[in-house]
Amino acid sequence: MRPSVNFSLPYEGYRLAINGTKGRIESQEYNHNRTPFPTPVQTVDYFPLFGSKETIHVVQNGGSHGGADPIMQEDLFLDPDPKRSYEILSGAKAGAYSVATGEAVWRSVKERCPIRIKDVLQG
């Protein structure tokens, strides 16, 4: 199977699988408002290298984008929650990494070799 990266699709949602040194995580999510069929509640499955699979149930919040929109709107139009120890809004650095990731993917496909994000950002 060949890998693919799609940056714009008419179907909303995602399937994600990440392999790491301690195992694999898998998840998928559908846009429940636009899907004309029943969809399962989102979970994250963890498959450790050794041991049994663990299923983590994702908290379902109201609002668009899995409940993220109301939180981001609070940060934009009010003030960030002082009890939250992490940032919600992305800045210029996150934007640069996002664009560089897409560019690295396309260069990698074209040149048939790995491309480092830091090389894209420097050149």
The verdict on 39 and 14 lying in the same domain is: yes
For residue 27, is pLDDT > 80? yes
Specify the pLDDT at position 2: 58
Q: In total, how many domains does the chain have?
A: 3
For residue 1, is pLDDT > 60? no
Its pTM surpasses 0.75: no
The verdict on 36 and 24 lying in the same domain is: yes
Give yes or no for a contact between 46 and 53, defined as CB atoms under 8 angstroms apart. Answer: yes
Give 71-115 as a DSSP string.
HHHHHHHS---TT--S--S--HHHHHHHHHHHHHHHHHHHHTS--
For residue 37, is pLDDT > 60? yes
pLDDT tens sequence across 38-96: 666 788 999 999 999 999 988 777 777 777 788 888 888 888 888 888 877 788 999 99
The verdict on 37 and 70 lying in the same domain is: no
